[in-house]
Amino acid sequence: MKRFRITIAALLLASTAMIAAPQPVAYAGAAGGIAIPGPVNSPADVVADWIKRGLRHLASVLTNAGRAIVTNRIHGAGTEPLQVGWGTGVGTAAAADTTLFTEKALDLSATSGSRTAGTGSQVTTSVTNDTYQVQATLTATGAGTVTNAGCFDNATIGSGNLYLKGDFTGIGLSSGDSIAFTFKHQLS
């Protein structure tokens, strides 16, 4: 039985006029844990640091629908995006995405069913409680290669709004293998 850990993160940089698009700041680590890089000065430094540490860079985005979820939640409405799904298709995550690339159930041959409920929390990245985090472990009940994952505000595959999405180098899973996902949305 193999176990993997993946962190998918979106960083929003606040300015006086608006919130900028998220930078691709997520990474994946092998079984046994994830090394978290220390503070660096630029996105180029971040990537160089990850490569030195043997971490795989991946695209991660706060989707357009995810932005709507944030403003809806600030307004006091909507559903917390705790439902975690995974997919087996190929592509690069983009803000306009509304689905995962070929979303699958825990049985990686099935395209319908339910997503896994995660646990949401506030955590500190730079300043107290500046990051929203969702953690969930998905355990495969069928074999396949997982290439992307995301958080939704609905438990049913094929419905709901995609909040955060990340893609990564495919991870081959057998029945009983699992991936522990950590999704982070930092407001900076």
d(CA 92, CA 101): 9
Local structure of 51: helix, strand or coil? helix
Q: How far is residue 137's CA from residue 20's CA, in Å, rounded to a whole number?
A: 30
- The structure's pTM equals 0.75
Contact indicator for 110, 143 with CB cutoff of 8 Å: no
The length of the chain is 188
Where are the domains positioned within the chain?
3-187
Residue-level pLDDT, tens digit, the chain, 188 residues: 777 777 777 654 432 222 222 333 333 433 333 333 344 344 445 444 544 444 444 568 899 999 999 999 988 999 999 999 999 999 999 999 999 999 999 999 999 999 999 999 999 999 999 999 999 999 999 999 999 999 999 999 999 999 999 999 999 999 999 999 999 998 87
Give dist(CA 87, CA 82) in Å, integer.
Answer: 17
